[in-house]
Structure formats: C-alpha cells, structure tokens
Structure 1
Amino acid sequence: MQHGPAVRRRKLGAELRGLRAAAGLTSGEAARLVGWHQSKVSRIETGISGVKPADVCLLLDAYRVADPELRELLVGLAGSEGNGRHHWWHAYRGVLPPTYRDFISLESQASGMRTLETSVVPGLLQTREYARAVTRAAVDGLEERKLDALVEVRLARQDVLRSNPPLELTAVLDEAVLRRTVGGREVMERQLARLLAAAHLPHVRLQVLPFAAGAHIGISGPFVIFSFPNTTDLDVVVLDHMTSSLYLERKEDLQAYSEAFNALQFHALSPKDSLDYIAAIRDGA
C-alpha cells in the first residue's frame, strides 16, 4: 500500500526492471550503457529514487524499446509533459493537494477506469452546476476563487473521455447517487440527463445498483481501478478518504477489487435497464 507518488515510482521501476531483463542486460550492464553507476539503476528499479523523463528515455533506448505508447506511458509516469494532454493541472498547483494531482495524473494516462460510486456522480460525468455544489459541500468555507478553480479542474478532467483514444469508463452507481438531490431539483435533473447522454457513448458503460439489491460487497465505500495500456503491472486501485488517498498495487489487492467490481456488475441492472431506471428517477419516479 503506497501513497500516489511512491506507487508510481515503484510501478515505473518494476516496469523498467522487466524491460531490462527482457533485453538480456544486468543492472551493471545497463548502467554502463547509459553512463551511470549501477546503484542508480538499482534505486530507480526499486522505486527508492525518482527518475527524470530524460533518464527514462535513455534507459528505454538502451533496452531498444520502440513502442511509442509504452514509451509515452513510462515517460509520463516519470513526469513528462507527454503529448500536451498530461500535466495541464500544474497551473492549479496552488489549490490542488498532492494526492489529487497524482490521481489526475493516473487518470490522464490510464486506458480504462472502473469505479464504484456510492454517494456522488463520478467526476468525469458531472455537470458544472453539480460539480460546484458537490465541491462546495465537500470543502467547508472554500473561498469563491478556489471553488471556481476546483470546478474548472473537475471539468478539464473530462477531456479524457474526448481524447483519441478515449478513456474506457465503466461505472457502477448505487441508487443513492441518483436519489440524493445535489444543488437543487433542477440541477439534479440536468445531471441525470447528462448521465443518460454519456451512457450512449461507446466507451462509457453505466450500471445502477438499486436499493432492492440490498447489502453488497461495495457497501464499505467507493473505489477506482485504473488500467493502463500495454501492461497490467501498472494497474492500481485508489481508495479515497476525507484527507488522503490510498493506492493499492499488490496483485492480490488488484484481483480482490476486480472480483468485487465484477460481482457488483452482476448484481446491478443491465446497462439498458439502468438507463430506464435513471430516466424514471429524472422524471419523478
């Protein structure tokens, strides 16, 4: 279990170690190829030390890694500006806590996101009015300038659903998400309409877990599973708490949460029935 920056260092290091081994190199041989001491390679591979994007490129060149998507992902984990889509949130460093910045970083690089939501609409699907009401309620006494900035960040995050290729979003929503009136009746009606529109996108899958389903495996709280292109070794589970986030990287944790999500999908309404259910709630049922 690690906090965000540490988990990314560990995952980047593990991936680089695997690529070195695949290239048939020892850590000492890799170090000589790039002009470093062997201890630097070891610190990077174990996640003890961070690594600059330029150094990642040196290692990838030494390991003859040509796949552009894999290179972009690994360089991005080291902090590269990537293709311009990554790290746009640096402009908001003054209002975003480190854990939130790291979550956005993972989200921007992921190819897939599975999320269980038990209280609020997923941030990637929120309307501006809904996002404002949720943010105001979550952060007591927030001044208007910071509130505006946090809402803009929430909306900017949604670009991952419009990128090429877009993030594949699968969300299971507890019925409480749909029933809780956030920002007033009109705001909630528009938010439900937004969910209905988003659910028709080919890369968005929504399922509702109705109250009638009773107690379920996700009742202890929401979670997010990020998946990454090319390798499952970078997948990570994120658990949010009021003042921090926890990142789970062990294969046992990933398997447990993946199985839990599959169970939630099994007990939830089908995507088609979920749309009908959301429409009925929007219309006052």
Structure 2
Amino acid sequence: MAEKGWGVREMSRRLEMSAQWVSAVTRGRTRPDPVNLARLLTVLGVKGAEYHELMAMGDEMRTPGLLEKPLQLRTLIWHEKRATAMSQFHGCSVPGLLQTADYARSLIAEIGNATDPDHIDELVFARMARQVVLDKRPTVTFDFYLHEFVLRLPIGRGAPDVMRGQLRQLDRLAERGNISIRIVPARCGGHPAMAGHFKLIESADFSPVIYIDSEVSGLFLEEPAEVVAYRRVLEGLDRVALDRAQSREFIADLAKNLYSSGVRRDDGDLA
C-alpha cells in the first residue's frame, strides 16, 4: 500500500470494504478470512510465491492457540488494553500487573531470566509500563486469586523490605473498588487451579481468551470449550478463597509478622 501511495481510505474504496476492517488487518489486529485476504492481495498486485506464502500465513493466523516467543508481549498487551474484565490465578509469584519494581527486579534476577543489569532494567520497565491499565481503565474489573504460598515465598534474597513493600502494594491495590485480590489458603489443600497459573481476558472487541505463559512461550487459548473449562476453575477458586476483607487482613498480618524483621530460614525461624 505504501509503495502504491494508497492509504486506508483508498484501499477501502478499492476493496469496497470498511476502512475499519482495512485498518485492523494492516495493523495485525484482526484475522482476515481466506476470501477477503485473497481479494486484498489481488488488489495489491501480489502474485506467485509471495501470494501463496502470505495466504499460508493467513491460515496460520486463523489457527486457535496463538504462540508467542518469550518477551514478545505485544499481543498480550494489546488484549489487556482492550479488556473489560480480567481474572487470573497465580500459585508461585505475584502477577506482573501487581508487582512492585523491587519485587520484579528481584524475581527476574533470581529465576535467571536475565543477568545483565541493563537488560533487567529494561524488563522491569516493560513490566511496570503494563500496569498503566490499572490506572487508566477504572471501569475494568480485575480479579486476582493468589495462593498463600505466593505471599510466603521470600523473593529478594534475604531482603525482607522487598516483600514488605510488595505486600503493602497488594493491600493498597485491594482498596480499589474494581480490583479484587483474594487469597487461596494453604489449609484448603488441593484446589481447582492445581494445574498452574492462567489469565482470562474478556473484551467487547474480541471473544474471551485464556493466556498461559511458560519459560519458552506464551499460549492463547481461544476455543469455547477451553474458555469454559477455565471459567469452571475460577468458580471453584471463588468457593475456596478467602473473601476480599479476609484476604486484606491475611496480607496485612503477613506483612507485619512474617517480614517485620527478617525472612524465614528453612527451619522456620526468622533470620
């Protein structure tokens, strides 16, 4: 389009389709069906091997379960910015949207995601930048389910101030009416989210998706049956988790008693 000097409106006129559709496709925000993709490529004069390659890429885009390589979080950020509701569970660490900068930096360093200080700073900055959705989207509802272990795992290599600051951050965020932070206590034993952490993202712009990240990839699950399965998990968590008030009290008690003067050693005593 740039080579031909065509803008979105001109392309829309030639295709006899809406400018919104053309804009969404050219920006990678929607998945064109084969017929319309073929029309677009034909109007642009794409032929031969390049045509077949791009049509094949279109087929890949339409395959449910979009994989993202590590650190390529543009798709996740795109979904988060357009969300009307997000629900998630974490069993080992504080979710990125709730982390303090100190917690994020310590966590990244301790799990070995990066060793170069400049790279760590870049990752921390990117994580903090994502948190803007908490401030700029007051109409979005956020439901976070955290296992008790998340709060007790001492991130910070023996620096209790990291965990104190993180727990205070959770308490401050829990004051907001649109943010629910609920603790799944260890005493409940097995729970519906034993399979691991996940995030349900809902929006008026797209169908619900489940996001799961790992060491080597991020996975978006989009099939209706997959979304239904994770909704059942969230319903189960709602039954076993402490309510919002109990969770805030639980967080405050840990901040005061567990990380007041040190972190626990393996023998259970404060260091």
User: SS of 2:257's equivalent?
Assistant: coil
Matches within 5 A, 1:174-185: 174-183=147-156, 184-185=159-160
Q: Deviations along 1:57-111, whole A, 9 cap, x unmatched?
A: xxxxxxxxxxxxxxxxxxxxxxxxxxxxxxxxxxxxxx9732x222222112212
Q: Which runs of 5+ in 2 are unaligned?
A: 1-12, 19-24, 26-30, 41-68, 259-271
CA distance in 1, matches of 2:214, 2:134: 25
Matched, 1:118 2:52: no
Aligned to 1:186: 161
Matched, 1:227 2:202: yes
CA distance in 2, matches of 1:141, 1:194: 24
Letter in 2 for 1:216: H
Task: Choose the corresponding residue for 1:97, options 67, 71, 87.
Answer: 71
Letter in 2 for 1:104: I
In terms of fraction of residues, the more helix-rich structure is 1
CA distance in 2, matches of 1:209, 1:113: 18
Mean CA deviation greater in 158-167 or 196-205: 158-167
Aligned to 1:161: 134
CA distance in 2, matches of 1:49, 1:284: 60
Task: Choose the corresponding residue for 2:82, options 109, 112, 124.
Answer: 109
The answer (yes or no) to whether the contact 2:167–2:251 under 8 Å persists in 1 is yes
Letter in 1 for 2:163: M
Structure-2 change in CA distance of 1:251 and 1:143 (3 Å): same
Aligned to 2:170: 195
User: SS of 2:175's equivalent?
Assistant: coil
CA distance in 2, matches of 1:49, 1:143: 43
Letter in 1 for 2:32: I
CA distance in 1, matches of 2:127, 2:240: 30
Aligned to 2:16: 33
Mark the structure with the bigger radius of gyration. Answer: 2
CA distance in 1, matches of 2:112, 2:126: 15
CA distance in 1, matches of 2:190, 2:70: 34
Residue 134 (structure 1) shift: 1.0
Letter in 1 for 2:16: L
Runs of 4+ in 1 over 6 A off after TM superposition: none
Q: Which runs of 5+ in 1 are unaligned?
A: 1-29, 53-94
Aligned to 2:33: 45
Matched, 1:143 2:116: yes
Q: Deviations along 1:226-284, whole A, 9 cap, x unmatched?
A: 0102x6x5210011111101111011111110111111111000111011111111111
Alpha-carbon RMSD across the aligned residues, in angstroms, is 2.9
Letter in 2 for 1:215: G
The answer (yes or no) to whether the contact 2:70–2:217 under 8 Å persists in 1 is no
Mean CA deviation greater in 212-221 or 140-149: 140-149
Aligned to 1:241: 214
Give TM-score, length-normalised by structure 2.
0.69
Letter in 1 for 2:71: P
CA distance in 2, matches of 1:254, 1:31: 38
How many residues were matched structurally?
Answer: 205
The answer (yes or no) to whether the contact 2:108–2:114 under 8 Å persists in 1 is no
User: SS of 1:253's equivalent?
Assistant: helix
Residue 165 (structure 1) shift: 4.1
Mean CA deviation greater in 168-177 or 131-140: 131-140
CA distance in 2, matches of 1:113, 1:252: 18
Mean CA deviation greater in 158-167 or 207-216: 158-167
Give TM-score, length-normalised by structure 1.
0.66
The answer (yes or no) to whether the contact 1:160–1:166 under 8 Å persists in 2 is no
Letter in 2 for 1:264: L
